[in-house]
Chains A and B, each alone.
Chain A
Amino acid sequence: TQLLEQSPQFLSIQEGENLTVYCNSSSVFSSLQWYRQEPGEGPVLLVTVVTGGEVKKLKRLTFQFGDARKDSSLHITAAQPGDTGLYLCAGRLDKLSFGAGTTVTVRA
């Protein structure tokens, strides 16, 4: 059983559409991170959120940490083919635990 459940597992959308990826848990985390991974490479950190209710924006990406620090979401506005990749959330208890990931494909 995964400590962090990500949904959906796969997402395929047309360029210009919006998308949201969810990361849920029953555990309370001291911080939560989102990573993006491209084929054949290691994950790369996008953002760290630490405060319940926190919202961070990174260009067209918006990250939200739930008020209770148990869940998070990643929203991409006007997706582009360059956003294609595997998106992983990771929550910190004593160690970092990763979700199974959401594979996002943005079609041109």
Chain B
Amino acid sequence: DAGITQSPRHKVTETGTPVTLRCHQTENHRYMYWYRQDPGHGLRLIHYSYGVKDTDKGEVSDGYSVSRSKTEDFLLTLESATSSQTSVYFCAISEWRGNTDTQYFGPGTRLTVL
């Protein structure tokens, strides 16, 4: 399972409050990703990181920020949560072999914004 944990696993919060989700990996992978999964949309990339302090935006980055101060931790922050951010959030790492990679996913965090 590539040693990926996410916390919390479930969270209910109110509109306008800040929320931080944590992804932790134990195998020193360089690339880490945050996705959200919604019915009818599959997995959509929010932000990704290619090293400590090196991050970039994905296709649905508005309203989200990330930080990576250590190789093992990748944090996703919703500065002011909105109901449209109710979703299941998955963290993933990449393992590259040649010119293809395998992404290993964490167990997910179910976030409800009321």
Partner-contacting stretch, out of A13-21, A57-65, A73-81, A95-103: A95-103
Q: Which residues of B contact A43 (CB under 8 A)?
A: 43, 90, 103, 105
The answer to the question of A68 belonging to the interface, with a C-beta cut-off of 8 Å to chain B, is: no
The one of B43, B48, B100, B104 in contact with A98, judged by C-beta atoms closer than 8 angstroms, is B43
Please tell me if the beta carbons of B42 and A2 are within 8 angstroms of each other in the complex.
yes
Distance from A31 Cβ to chain B, minimum over Cβ atoms (Å): 5
The one of B41, B45, B58, B105 in contact with A42, judged by C-beta atoms closer than 8 angstroms, is B105
The answer to the question of A24 belonging to the interface, with a C-beta cut-off of 8 Å to chain B, is: no
Please tell me if the beta carbons of B100 and A48 are within 8 angstroms of each other in the complex.
yes
Q: Which residues of A contact B108 (CB under 8 A)?
A: 40-42
The answer to the question of A104 belonging to the interface, with a C-beta cut-off of 8 Å to chain B, is: no
Given A42-B92, A48-B100, A48-B102, are A98 and B42 neighbors across the interface (CB < 8 Å)? yes
Given A2-B42, A42-B90, are A96 and B102 neighbors across the interface (CB < 8 Å)? no
Q: Which residues of A contact B45 (CB under 8 A)?
A: 95-97
Contact count band on B: 20 to 34
Please tell me if the beta carbons of A100 and B102 are within 8 angstroms of each other in the complex.
no
**1/0 per position for A1-39, CB-CB distance to B under 8 A?**
010101001000000000000000000001101000000
How many Å lie between the Cα of A41 and that of B105 in the bound state?
9
How many Å lie between the Cα of A2 and that of B104 in the bound state?
22
Distance from A89 Cβ to chain B, minimum over Cβ atoms (Å): 9
How many Å lie between the Cα of A40 and that of B6 in the bound state?
13
Binding site for A on B (CB under 8 A): 35, 40-45, 48, 58, 90, 92, 99-108
Sample of 20 further A-B pairs with CB below 8 A, known A88-B43, A98-B44: A4-B42, A30-B99, A31-B99, A31-B100, A42-B92, A42-B106, A42-B107, A42-B108, A43-B43, A43-B90, A43-B103, A45-B103, A48-B102, A50-B99, A50-B100, A92-B100, A95-B58, A96-B101, A98-B43, A100-B41
18 A-B pairs whose Cβ atoms sit less than 8 Å apart in the complex: A6-B42, A9-B40, A31-B100, A40-B107, A42-B90, A42-B105, A42-B108, A43-B105, A48-B102, A50-B100, A92-B101, A95-B45, A96-B101, A96-B103, A97-B45, A98-B43, A100-B40, A101-B42
